[in-house]
Amino acid sequence: MSAHEFPNWHLESLTAHSGVGYDPVYGAVSTPVYQTVTYQHPGSELGPYDYSRTENPTRHATQEAINRLEKGAGTLLYSSGMAALTVLVQTLQQGDHVLITEDAYGGTYRIMVDLFSKFGVSSSMVNTRDLNQVEDHLGPRTRLVIVETPSNPLLRISPLAELAELVHAHHAELAVDNTFMTAVRQRPLEMGADYSVYSATKYLAGHNDVLAGAIVCKAPEQYRRLNDLTNATGSVPGPWDAWLLLRGLKTLAIRMDRQENNARALAQFLSTHDRVRSVYYPELAEPSVKAVHMEQASGYGAMLSFLLKDPDTHIALMDRLKVILPAVSLGGVESLITHPYNETHRELPEPMRRKLGIIPGLMRLSVGIEHIDDLLNDLSDGLRD
Ligand SMILES: Cc1ncc(COP(=O)(O)O)c(C=O)c1O
């Protein structure tokens, strides 16, 4: 089934029907887990599948479900978000250059500095909110720009349509890490991006139980190029992980609604708390920034960060919380709190962390689906004197 068979369906209906219609034998409503590596074909004739590194029916159904949400030319699944980003950069050649949002996820920085630099692919971290800075760094060998908006962990907003225009004028491609917003809130391809990249581990799967990644491609030739490379290198998920992701997708829209409502209430609560210096959440951003976000997104998402007045408070906070779990990762049904300075962003050199505002008092909250009163009471208790 292609995206175009569901032209008028709302995202809630598309997500609920993820994987429906993929069992040709029994009509199973839930796509089966095709736990097989190889496929018998009738005699010398080849069948639709031949080897599971190349394609597997469960993985195929999951890819199609994600592809429908963004109306892509094709979507590929990976064993993690980092595997997806790695394959994307592997499409480049020695001498090429990549630009990345300066406060992007630390792992993105790490593969560029620790891995791709050894193969002659260079990178620069830039403030992608500022088009002049981006233009200054776009060189003749810049082939790829990787943007996170809202960024991780400071929820900074970069203007997608303007970036796409600028990047294309320099004959490069734009990839947007859409992990935080997901297709139910932001569709980068519609804003001109070439790729929408995911840590599907997060909201798409949604239950803190599966690692996966995805890339949605705008054009068929981009999809073919990535598909060939993925088949050659093999960083694909197994059928069970693809199935867990497919099951998670069915509730993506309602999970996001609930998580976002909870996040809005927590952001308001924190913004008036006397132990909190500032809250980073798109709804609370200054009006011009909020306007840019709402031009390209249909909601604020469920990630927020806040800065404690006294950085040492973070220890008591993390020790006292009971509903909100101290853990890395994000986007699942359970609320999680992270200390980016020591956890998700520790790969960044200390001066860079400080320059970006990733300082010891900064906390990142991934808001889950719990009852809002329990979350408010938990935070209130955690922040008490
Ligand atoms: C925005 C973002 N992109 C990519 C990744 C990497 O994804 P994974 O952990 O699935 O490899 C993460 C992980 O936290 C992330 O937060």
Last residue of a domain, one of 249, 277, 310: 249
Same structural domain for residues 165 and 181? yes
122/129 Cα distance (integer angstroms): 21
**307 in the same domain as 219:** no
Total-model pTM: 0.96
- CA dist., res. 119 & res. 48, Å (int): 36
Handedness of CA 180, 185, 188, 189 (dihedral sign): positive
Task: From residue 125, give the alpha-carbon distance in Å to each of 134, 145, 146, 157.
Answer: 10, 10, 10, 15
| End-of-domain residue from the set 249, 272, 302 | 249
Q: pLDDT (tens digit, 9 = 90+) per residue, 231-249?
A: 999 999 999 999 999 999 9
pLDDT value at position 7? 67
- Report pLDDT for 5: 63
347 lines ligand 1 (CB under 6 A): no
> Which atom of ligand 1 sits closest to the CA of residue 108?
4
Same domain, 241 and 259: no
What is the extent of the structural domain holding 50? 3-249
202 is catalytic: yes
Pairing mode, strands 142-148 and 173-177: parallel
Average pLDDT over residues 79-87: 98
- Provide the 8-state DSSP code for 303: E
Q: Are residues 310 and 217 in the same domain?
A: no
67 touches 113 (CB < 8 A): no
Active site residue 300: no
Please report, for the domain that includes residue 192, its CATH number. Answer: 3.40.640.10
Mutate to test the pocket of ligand 1, among 199, 328, 364 (most ligand atoms within 8 A of CB): 199
Q: What is the CATH number of the domain that holds 310?
A: 3.90.1150.10
53 labelled catalytic: yes
Answer whether residue 4 shows pLDDT above 50: no
pLDDT of residue 328: 94
Residue 292 Ramachandran class (φ > 0 left, ψ -120 to 50 alpha, else beta): alpha
Per DSSP, what are the bridge partners of residue 337?
326, 365
Atom 14 of ligand 1: nearest residue by CA position: 329
| Helix (H/G/I), strand (E/B), else coil: 83 | helix
Per the structure, the count of domains in the chain is 2
Same-domain status, 108 and 23: yes
Q: Are residues 64 and 101 in the same domain?
A: yes
Domain limit, last residue, from 249, 266, 283: 249
Preceding peptide of 150 cis, ω within 30°:
yes
| Residue 195 near residue 144 (C-beta atoms within 8 A) | no
Question: Are 192 and 304 in a shared domain?
Answer: no
232 and 355 share one domain: no
